[in-house]
Amino acid sequence: MNLPILYKKVLNNEWLSSNEGLYLYSNAPTEDLIYLGNELRKFHVKSGKVTWQIDRNVNITNVCISGCKFCNFHCTLSSDKGYITSVPEYQQKIQELERYGGNQLLLQGGLHPKLGLEFYTKLFSELKSMFPNIKLHALGPPEVAHMAKKEGLPYREVLEKLIESGLDSLPGAGAEILVDRVRKYISPGKPDSQAWLDVMAEAHKLGLNTSATMMIGHIETMEERIEHLIKIRDLQSRKPENVPGFMNFIVWTFQSEGTKLEAEGVKSHVNAEEYIRTIAICRIMLNNINNIQASWLTVGVETAQICLHAGANDMGSIMIEENVVSSAGAKNRMDAYGLQKAIVDAGFEPQLRNQRYEYIILPDCEFSKIYSIEELKHRPNSK
């Protein structure tokens, strides 16, 4: 295999095979991967802007039977720490979200053995009746597959009922690595990789906006990362022409602090260079997905800034609330000012967006504002 020939294929926006992708990642110098990722970013994102978002990640419950060895957040049904978020708690959290200028609620559920489809449809309907402008970016393929099994319904019918009750978009949660060797070890109770893909395929047929994710830095091999990317790319290629399918792709790093995986000797091992190279190869392999997000939450702001020159064009959300990866050691935090300044300091223009990647204007709100580039250049970093 020849690197110059692969470079030419990449710059022509051609698909790479798994062997070609693996060879490129394993042999290309980091500066070459950064260059290739950046050229493809410019091809897919004509504006050159870097997008960001204001949303809140609320956990519907912390009771989950998936047994994920990387998650410190979940507990069993019998645990005295278990909870289900109440409607008054949602009201308080959404009102606070609106004071920050956000209108999207990222709802993560987990696989609660006693919560079925009726619970979620009732919850979504109630939230929409109280806050009709709120966007519910909720659940994920494992929760949908879990509900379908529990109710004896096909994935499509479950999704249709969730959409009727207020679901606006489907996160890519629970993908981790879409290779069953890995999933059986790190998430023994979760639906398999084909179930994740099948739920997303039905979501695309129904026109739902979705996202895709990958968690790296645990027991997976580089070959398995590439396999994951190709499965995502192939699914995106089969979506109906008139729907967006996967709006973005997010790579985040395993956080090991206090997890079962750490107790078994598996620790976080992704350094800054490896993450930057991974962002570049994701941009290269996923050449039918427009938006690649850098996970500042798990890798830190400085690494995420470099990723904006290696293929990423999105910095995600200010994350008013996040409970899962922070419980395993992710301590990074940013407000609206800090996120905009990080983008400007990296040499880009920040642009607020919604889940559809439509550019939006920040409404009048209490805690957030849009700053001019000149202001951001000459003001200090937030603390």
For domain 3-378, give the fold. Answer: TIM Barrel (3.20.20)
- CA distances 195 to 3, 111, 144, 228, Å, are 36, 14, 9, 14
Please state, in angstroms and rounded to a whole number, the distance separating the CA atoms of residues 33 and 44.
17
With beta carbons less than 8 A apart as the criterion, state whether 51 and 353 touch.
Answer: yes
236's enclosing H/E stretch is helix 222-237
pLDDT of residue 323: 52
Q: Is 198 exposed, middle or buried (0-12, 13-18, 19+ CB in 10 A)?
A: buried
Helices 87-99, 117-130: crossing angle, 10 deg rounding: 40
* SS3 assignment, position 241: coil
Report the pLDDT value the prediction gives residue 325, as an integer from 0 to 100. 43
Six-digit token string for 254: 């395993």
Render each residue's pLDDT in the chain as its tens digit; 383 residues.
899 999 999 999 999 999 999 999 999 999 999 999 999 999 999 998 999 999 889 999 999 998 899 988 788 888 888 899 999 999 999 999 998 888 999 998 889 999 999 999 999 999 999 999 999 999 999 999 999 999 999 999 999 999 999 999 999 999 999 999 999 999 999 999 999 999 999 999 999 999 999 999 999 999 999 999 999 999 999 999 999 999 999 999 998 888 999 999 999 889 999 999 999 999 999 999 999 999 998 999 999 999 999 999 999 998 776 454 443 434 556 888 889 999 999 999 999 999 999 999 887 777 777 777 887 877 777 54
Query: How far is residue 187's CA from residue 146's CA, in Å, rounded to a whole number?
Result: 14
pTM of the model: 0.93
- What CA–CA distance (Å, rounded) separates 94 from 55? 10
E strand spans, 235-374: 246-253, 291-294, 314-317, 350-352
Quick one: pLDDT at residue 135?
96
Q: What is the gyration radius of the CA atoms in the chain, in angstroms?
A: 20
Write down the pLDDT at residue 347. 95
Burial level of 2, CB count in 10 A (0-12/13-18/19+)? exposed
Query: Which residues contact residue 52 at a Cβ distance below 8 angstroms, ignoring those fewer than 6 apart?
Result: 314, 315, 316, 317, 318, 339, 340, 343, 350, 351, 352, 353
SS3 state of residue 136 = strand
Give pLDDT, residue 15.
96
The residues spanned by each domain of the chain are: 3-378
Are the C-beta atoms of residues 10 and 284 closer than 8 Å to each other?
yes
Cα dihedral across residues 192, 193, 195, 199: positive or negative? positive
